[in-house]
Structures are given as C-alpha cells and as structure tokens.
Amino acid sequence: MLRSRTSLRRALACVALPALVTGCSVLHLGHSAPGGDVTATTPDAKPAGKKGHEKQAESQPLDPLAEAQLRAQEQPGEPWWPYQVATLEARAGRSAEAEASLRAAVARDSGYAPALTALSRTLYEQGRHEEAIRLLSPVREGRVTMTDGERATALAGLALHEAALGREADARATAAGLPRDEAAGVSGYLAARGTDHDAADKATQAALKASPSSAASHNNRGIALLRAADADGAEKEFLRAIELDPMRAAPYYNLAILQRWYRMDPAAAAIRFKQYWNLSHADPDSLYAELGRGTPTPVAEGTSK
C-alpha cells in the first residue's frame, strides 16, 4: 500500500523548453523546459546559417567564457554568442548571469529558439510562469520568425507554463495543434500531475512511446510507476532520465522521495536531495522542510524532449 500523501501543493520543476521544452522540458522548456523543462539545439552546437563562426587565428586560445564574451561584444547583432556565454555561465553555476545572457540573446533576435527555450526552462524551474508566458506569447501570435519545429517546441513549453498555473484548459488548447510527440509530452505531464492513476499510466506510456529519448517523459513515467507502488520500475525510469540529461533536477528530487518514503532509507534520500539541491533551489512545496514529515508529491517534468 502507498503511504497517504500530505496536502502539499504539487511541485513543478522544466522547458522546457521544455522546459520546458527540450534539453525542456518544461517545455522544450527545455533543455525542460514547463513542465514540463525546451532546447532546440545542443548547447555547443552552432546553428546553421548563423554568422560569426570564422576560424580563430592560430594563437593562444582564450578561456572559453572570456572568448565567448569577447565575440559577443565584437558581433552585437549575433545572438549565438550571448547564448554560448549563458551556456558556459550555467555550467559554472552562475545562474543569474546565465539568465541575463539568455535575455541578451533574445534581445538580439526575438525568434532565436535556443535562447528562448533555455530561458523558458529557467523560468519554469524558478516558478516564474507568468514571465515565461509573456516571453513566449509572441510565438503563439506568430510575431517571430521560427521553423515549424522550433515553434512547436516553444508552444509545448508555453502549454506547460499554463498548466503550472492551473490553467489546464488553456494548456490543452495551446497543445492541440502540436505534432504528436510534443502533444503527447504535454498530455503526459498533465496526467502525471493529476490524481487519476490509470490516466497517468496510459498518458505517460504514450508520451514515452512518442519520445523515447525524452528525459522528461522517463521522469513522468517514473512518477506513474511510483504511484502504482512499483518502486523498482520507477527508479529505473528516474535513473534513465538522469542518464539522458544529468543536469535535469526533477529526477533527483523524485529519487529522494522514492528512497525516503518507499525504501525507508533516509541516508540515500539525503544524497539524492543534495544532488537535486545542487541543481535547483526551487522548492515550491518546501520539501527541504518536509523531508522529515509526510510524503510529498513527485515532480512532473515540463519538457517533452
């Protein structure tokens, strides 16, 4: 039998982009991205067609971050360089600077998908969903130029931010016209946050079938299995999510829950929670304080990739 849950609010973690949205879950928030975290390209990839990638002169190379900052100054119209600065700042744990650099990239090109989705995921993980909706609204309104795939990823993130605010009807409407894998990711996220275990089981299976390499989908599938008292199956899904995206915080959070309240191993739970805390201090349900009390709600992902 599963232990009864406390009345904690449901925790939300992205970018997607997603967050939410890809690697974003939430959203392609993700790298998420909501919820659900949306990364349209890998952090180190240089988008095709972007200028400013000439080979460096053969000289002593600069520190990568210093070089990216220099290139960003030298090429004020190129969004890729401040995006690369943000990537390096994030890896160094400088989250505030990384967010500022992502905003600088978006200011240079409001339709630059990698920065949009990474910023969407950042906002999702911090619970700043209204800000993210304002950020992504121009995409829904068709006011920015993007490829169909980039637009789908951004809209998936937008849907996850709406869901995080309890606006599930709006989220479903936003996701209605998305490709199958993006729509399935949103549906799986919504189901994982709900109380209908049968619906969560079906929706998370469908999302995983549509996007088998999505860390968020594996995370959400783990939640469905955990609620069905299959702790071993849930652990495998959370670990697979971490394997696919080690920087995604939610699976560590959920493993802490599994170890503490399903395996009754406080020491192992503490290790997993520390791993989570090193990646995110977003704690809408005060899990930090709740670890010694009732069972909190697992964190559903807002990223479908």
Residue 300 DSSP SS3: strand
Q: Which of 107, 108, 64 is nearest to 87 (CA)?
A: 64
Please check whether residue 45 lies inside any domain of the structure. no
CATH number at residue 72: 1.25.40.10
Please check whether residue 162 lies inside any domain of the structure. yes
Whether 37 and 303 have beta carbons less than 8 Å apart is answered as: yes
pLDDT of residue 284: 58
Residue 63 CA to residue 67 CA, distance in Å, equals: 6
Residue 180 DSSP SS3: helix
- Render each residue's pLDDT in the chain as its tens digit; 305 residues: 333 333 222 332 332 233 333 333 322 222 223 334 332 233 333 444 444 444 544 556 679 999 999 999 999 999 999 999 999 999 898 999 999 999 999 999 999 999 999 999 899 888 899 999 999 999 999 999 999 999 999 999 999 899 889 898 999 999 988 998 888 888 888 888 888 889 989 999 999 999 899 998 999 999 999 989 999 999 999 999 999 999 888 999 999 989 988 998 888 988 998 898 888 877 655 667 766 455 556 777 765 44
Please check whether residue 233 lies inside any domain of the structure. yes
Please check whether residue 177 lies inside any domain of the structure. yes
Query: Is pTM, for the whole model, over 0.75?
Result: no
For helices 215-227 and 180-193, angle between their N-to-C axes, nearest 10 degrees: 30
Please check whether residue 39 lies inside any domain of the structure. no
Please check whether residue 199 lies inside any domain of the structure. yes
Cβ atoms within 10 Å of 73's Cβ, excluding its own: 10
Query: What is the tally of structural domains in the chain?
Result: 1
Centroid of chain to Cα 119:
10
Residue 258 lies in domain: 64-290
Please check whether residue 156 lies inside any domain of the structure. yes
Sequence-distant (6+) residues with CB within 8 A of 243 are none
Please check whether residue 23 lies inside any domain of the structure. no
Q: Which of 243, 279, 274 is nearest to 260 (CA)?
A: 274
